[in-house]
Structure 1
Amino acid sequence: MVAAATEGSKRILDLFAGSGTFTLRLARHAPVHAVEAEKTALAALDKAWRFARGLKLVSTEARDLYRRPFLPKELEKFDAVVFDPPRDGAAPVAKEIARSKVPLVVAVSCNPATLARDARYLVDGGYRIDTVVPVDQFLWSHHVEAVAVFRRG
């Protein structure tokens, strides 16, 4: 769903990228800048990218996105942003994206309450919800992931 939503994007920003859950898949079609606070996860991602074949450029950046979210000026060079935060959500990130002109945002969440809060920031900033898809990937558990696609305008 994340890869399909970003298909056709020319430059993707992957926030809370971890060790590349979405990054490598996204890099099949476009260069990706992956941002994560954990340097060991980024090192694993970088190594995986270097050994993979047929992928576009993957650049990495260690950054605490709660303390230093990307500002609208920094977001100008991306035409798609993907974020998959911890259960606390991505309030600082969503607030800054809402102030930007990025045409496409894909939010992945394991917490419906924080996803709703982050979605509110985006919608109040001029995005419209295109789709929301629940993903029941944890069998025998009440946990549900969700993927929400937002478009500017």
Structure 2
Amino acid sequence: DSLAGATRIADLFAGCGTFTLPLARQAQVHAVEGLAAPLAALDSGWRAASGLNRVTTEVRDLARRPLMEDELARFDAIVIDPPRAGAAAQMARIAAARVPLVASVACDPVNFAKAARILADAGYRIHRLWVVDQFRFSPHVEIVAALTVR
């Protein structure tokens, strides 16, 4: 719902397409992941499905080589689900590019707070926030936030 209206979405740290494929129902999606195998599975799944918009993939280590402002400028929304260590460098580039909508997923509350601060300092505000307790008998939670820039 929070990305409704977006027509060009980048899914960063996309894995095998957990978010990419559902988002492709409404928009063209560019999936970026550091490993080739999950993207190959995503590409195969996208090609076998019907009713989806175009999905492109890119193998890229976003920790070492984040998408830069000129690359981010072609998207009207970003989904980012980084590893537990976070993605401060990529968040800084997103903040500088001022992509209108950001959906941030985090499995570590401390790194989520750091990423949210980077975006807040650039004028983003949390529009919606969910805490997902999906790991029964575990203290781990997933945090999902929808942010918009002013």
| 1:36 paired residue number | 33
Partner of 2:69: 72
**In 1: Cα distance, 2:73 partner to 2:63 partner:** 20
Q: How much does 1:23 deviate?
A: 0.3
Equivalent-residue separation in structure 2 for 1:28 and 1:60 (angstroms): 16
Q: CA deviation at 1:70?
A: 0.9
Aligned amino acid, residue 105 of structure 1 = V
Trace 1:5-24 onto structure 2 (pairs within 5 A). 5-24=2-21
> How does the TM-score come out when normalised to structure 1?
0.96
Q: What value does the CA root-mean-square deviation take over the aligned residues?
A: 0.7
Provide the rounded CA distance (Å) in 2 between the counterparts of 1:140 and 1:7: 34
Alignment of 1:1-150 (within 5 A): 4-150=1-147
Percentage of matched positions with identical amino acids: 55
Match of 2:43, as an amino acid?
D
Aligned-pair CA distance for 1:8 = 1.0
Q: Which amino acid in structure 2 is aligned with residue 73 of structure 1?
A: D
Q: How many residues align?
A: 150
Shift of 1:73: 1.1
Distance in 1 between residues matched to 2:90 and 2:129, nearest whole Å: 19
* Pairwise CA distance, 1:143: 0.8
- Report the alpha carbon displacement of residue 84 of structure 1 after superposing the two structures with TM: 0.3
- Structure 2 residue ranges without an equivalent (≥5): none
Runs (4 or more) in structure 1 with deviation over 6 Å come to none
Question: Where does the alignment leave 5 or more consecutive residues of structure 1 unmatched?
Answer: none
- CA-to-aligned-CA distance 1:76-133 (integer Å, 9 cap, x gap): 1100000001100111110111101210001001110001001110011111111211
Q: Distance in 2 between matches of 1:52 and 1:109?
A: 28
